[in-house]
Amino acid sequence: MAGVESLERSKCHKFYPAELKYAAVKDFLSGRYTQREVSRKYKISSKSVLMKWVELYNGHKTLKDSGRGRNRLMTKRKNVSLEERIKIAKDCLAHGKDYARSMEIHQVSYQQVYQWVKKYQEGGEEALKDTRGKRKTEEELTPEEKIQRENKRLEQENER
């Protein structure tokens, strides 16, 4: 028995390496140990944590390292020029789409790197341009877009 200390709430998130997770899941699924026994054997914080790993394992998902050993995947928002976005997207693709690596090196968010790579793959450097708040001129519009714009103008006029 662990004594009174075992009843106190944990003040930190526990780190579980993937190898420990797989070993715990395999012991539990073997039928030789109960949830409680496996949790005690591997010092798992609760039976629900073990059952979550079993659920992931049975769903053919990868059990990954967790807790302190992982890097933060978010950074503060940063304005990035078109040239930098192109450089980051190319760098990420050159390293096998390692978004976390690119995020740390370039100090941008994981989501930004992911979106830039996706846009770059779909439309090249042109797709990485920031077009927010910029309307196309009449010459740049396709015939369908011209009709949509005219319909919208007429709807607004009718509303007035």
Q: Which of 49, 46, 125, 24 minimizes the C-alpha distance to 84?
A: 125
29-47 burial, b at 16+ Cβ within 10 Å, e below that, comes to eeeebeeeebbeebebeee
Categorize the per-residue pLDDT at 4 as very low, low, confident or very high, splitting at 50, 70 and 90: low
pLDDT of residue 75: 47
pTM over 0.95: no
Distance set, CA 65 to CA 77, 81, 112, 131 (Å): 27, 34, 24, 39
Categorize the per-residue pLDDT at 76 as very low, low, confident or very high, splitting at 50, 70 and 90: low
Tokens representing residue 79 in the block: 């304005």
Least confident of 6-10, 26-30, 40-44, 147-151: 6-10
pLDDT of 5 > 70? The answer is no
Where helices occur in the chain by DSSP H, the ranges are 18-30, 35-41, 47-58, 82-94, 99-106, 110-123, 143-159
CA torsion through residues 127, 132, 134, 135, sign: positive
pLDDT of 84 > 80? The answer is yes
Categorize the per-residue pLDDT at 89 as very low, low, confident or very high, splitting at 50, 70 and 90: very high
pLDDT of residue 13: 66
Mean pLDDT, all residues of the chain: 83
Tokens representing residue 29 in the block: 């699924």
pLDDT of residue 120: 92
- Condensed to tens digits (0 to 9), the pLDDT of residues 104-152 reads 888 888 888 999 999 999 999 888 887 777 777 788 788 998 899 999 9
111-121 burial, b at 16+ Cβ within 10 Å, e below that, comes to ebbeebbebbe
Which whole number is the average pLDDT over 95-99?
Answer: 88
Counting every residue, how long is the chain?
160
